[in-house]
Amino acid sequence: MKIGILGYGNLGRGVEKAVNASRDQELVAVFTRRDPAGVTIATPGVKVLSADALQDMQKEIDVLILCGGSATDLPEMTPKYAAMYNVVDSFDTHARIPEHFAAVDAAAGKAGKIGVISCGWDPGMFSLNRVYAASILPEGEAYTFWGRGVSQGHSDAIRRIEGVQDARQYTVPVPEAVERVRRGENPKLTTREKHTRECFVVAKEGADKARIEKEIKEMPNYFADYDTTVTFITQEELNAEHKGLPHGGSVIYTGSTGDSRHVIEYRLTLDSNPEFTGAVLSAVARAAYRMNTEGQKGAKTMLDIAPAYLSPLSAEELRAHML
């Protein structure tokens, strides 16, 4: 199947790697809203085109993978391109999923295409695990922990503070909280009890570090509700030790059947958040193409996709070797 990628940031690069690693997928082109001449991609021989070229390439692309941001890009981009292509996105603003779904459903349904929204690991694989667990054990509770991993949103928030040159923020689950959940205690956990935040900050020369630390720790929504540690390091240290984008976390579901208790735990430990997310998008693109070929259309999420559609293996191979 022929794949297009729109947007070439960290996620677009992750999708590119995943598509190239998939034997049944071929990368047709990367599309950008910037000047294509200024964008060099990793895959030799594949074109970089202006997003405008998408008006006219329906015959050349089976699925278009949208690698924009959730805040402003995808709410506009996904319905727009779902009217022309099968599309897959990673929209992750949980509260706005219903309206995004409705907009994509209208566009894709009219065009006879499929638009799969909110793919990745959360929303995505974590959502699947919450639904599987709660469907099997209706008496129970789901806990989601994130990290240890880099939150790009929190890192950006620190960088906007005066006197900060660079920063990396790690979200870290509190080990005691994870253990209590695993033991089946079903605890009520506050925000502070679930996660801590570790900040590695490069201050500009002469900046007031005490003020920076205070501003970070008191920042509402981002840090005020957490136990936050701030460590000042040099730019060289940040470059050497904190350049990666690792992430992960776990969904732990504790439920019961009568007097019996059961714990279901799904855990991800990812060296690269954008590369893993890109790999999920590539697998979902395979499913979107197959489902559309069978006549399905409209908006979908990973909850609507039978797992077999994601696999390059045939149904017979899956039953014989994976079941």
Instruction: Name the residues that contact a second copy, by CB under 8 A.
Output: 14, 17-18, 21-23, 94, 97-98, 101, 118, 123, 125, 127-132, 134-139, 257-272, 275-276, 278-280, 283, 286, 301-308, 310-312, 315-316, 318-320, 322-323
Cβ of residue 244: shortest distance to a second copy, in angstroms? 8
**What residues pair up with 1 in beta bridges, in sequence order?**
none
Cβ of residue 189: shortest distance to a second copy, in angstroms? 18
Cβ of residue 208: shortest distance to a second copy, in angstroms? 37
* Residue number, 99 or 162, with CB nearest to a second copy: 99
* Residue number, 128 or 167, with CB nearest to a second copy: 128
Closest C-alpha among 293, 170, 167, 172 to residue 233: 167
Pull the structure tokens for residue 179: 């253990």
* Residue number, 196 or 301, with CB nearest to a second copy: 301
CA distances from 312 to 26, 82, 161, 174, 316 (A): 13, 24, 47, 38, 12
Pull the structure tokens for residue 11: 């996620």
CB 252 within 8 A of CB 265: yes
CB 278 within 8 A of CB 11: yes
Cβ of residue 81: shortest distance to a second copy, in angstroms? 20
The pairing of strands 63-66 and 86-88 is parallel
* Residue number, 40 or 260, with CB nearest to a second copy: 260
* Residue number, 182 or 192, with CB nearest to a second copy: 182
Cβ of residue 4: shortest distance to a second copy, in angstroms? 20
* Residue number, 210 or 306, with CB nearest to a second copy: 306
DSSP count for the chain of H helices, then E strands: 11, 14
Cβ of residue 302: shortest distance to a second copy, in angstroms? 8
Cβ of residue 52: shortest distance to a second copy, in angstroms? 30
* Residue number, 56 or 316, with CB nearest to a second copy: 316
**Residue 2, Cβ neighbours under 10 Å: how many?**
17
Closest C-alpha among 45, 12, 67, 15 to residue 286: 15
